[in-house]
Amino acid sequence: MSEKLPNMLETTIQKIREMVDVNSVIGQPINTPDGVTIIPVSRVSVGFGGGGSDFATNKSGSGMPFGGGVGGGVKVTPMCFLIVKDGNVRMMSIPEPASSTADRIVEMVPDTLEKLQSYLDAKKETK
């Protein structure tokens, strides 16, 4: 097999390295006027793959033709914020979004109960 596939993989890996750096995981600190520093923290997922093959031909000449391809992707997911104030550090998590209908219903229950309670309280006041 030719050296084209390893070269293609190396080029893809290099491009991913250029896209993802330490600032993708630990973001630039944000300083507020009241002395609070907020630091975003993310999770980075990287994937790539490739394949190829040399093909035989009926023509004699300069080697066998090569066909192949390489692909890759990067996913950056916000995880939390580190909040620094007066030497104290707090972590504020970012909840993952609901991934199913049941999860969405569970997320809606507290808000729905609060609205129902407000409605019942308003009814009591009018009587």
pLDDT, mean of residues 65-89: 85
According to the model, what pLDDT value does residue 23 have?
67
Q: Which of 33-37, 100-104, 109-113, 123-127 has the highest mean pLDDT?
A: 33-37
Q: Model confidence at 43, in pLDDT bands (50, 70, 90)?
A: confident
pTM (global) more than 0.85:
no
Pick the more confident residue, 67 or 57: 67
CA 96-100-103 angle, to 5 degrees, is: 65
Amino acid identity of residue 41, one-letter, is V
